[in-house]
Amino acid sequence: MNVQIPSQMDKAAFLAWAERCDERYELVHGRVVMMVGGTRAHWQIALNLAKALDARIDRQKWSVLPEFGVDAGPDTVRYPDIVVDPAGAPAKDLTARAPVLIAEVLSPSSERTDLADKAAEYLRLPSLATYIVVAQDEVKAWVWNCKATGFPAGPAVTEGEAGIVDIPSLGIELPLREIYDRVRLD
């Protein structure tokens, strides 16, 4: 399929357009940006993370959504690897209603975006309680957990197979060894 990529769009037009596309795109400050595919490690880690979250959350209260839209600003729509949003939202929604957790799997090409640009956008979301970025080339997670005073200036870093990611807003913990299960790090 040959798709003409518009250079600028508003959110409503972008969501309608992106829904008809086979490829993956984000809207970043009004500009349409194509997203590239990921490595085997990227997709395995994202799948493991989604499964680990889904096994631990209250399914009556929360939904785990892979690559689901997040309204990240006046002219920005992102598609993080994992979003945890309240359960029971309308089936035709194109973006999360009130994401409580957002997770990204870090790629070498996305490091600056995931740890800086997206962190700044996501941490401004009123409903967000936890933002997690996990590496794909080492067992490591950067975690921002909102406290009563707001988000910390920087993330807590957890490393190694024995590491645990604490997610107080959902009342759960995720072992890094589970997130990296079946991932061969060379």
pLDDT digits (tens, 9 = 90+) for 7-43: 788 999 999 998 888 888 889 999 998 887 788 999 9
Distance CA(59)–CA(87), nearest Å, equals 7
Distance CA(52)–CA(29), nearest Å, equals 32
pLDDT digits (tens, 9 = 90+) for 143-159: 999 999 999 999 999 99
pTM: 0.91
- What's the CATH number for 38-179? 3.90.1570.10
Distance CA(145)–CA(91), nearest Å, equals 29
pLDDT in single tens digits along all 186 residues of the chain: 445 677 788 999 999 998 888 888 889 999 998 887 788 999 999 999 999 999 999 999 999 999 999 999 999 999 999 999 999 999 999 999 999 999 999 987 778 888 999 999 999 999 999 999 999 999 999 999 999 999 999 999 999 999 999 999 999 999 999 999 999 997
Domain range annotation of the chain: 38-179
Q: For position 1, what pLDDT does the model report?
A: 43
For 88-119, b/e burial (b = at least 16 CB within 10 A) is eeeeeebbbeebbbbbbbbbeebeebbbebbb
Q: For position 90, what pLDDT does the model report?
A: 95
For 41-55, b/e burial (b = at least 16 CB within 10 A) is bbbbbbbbbbebbee
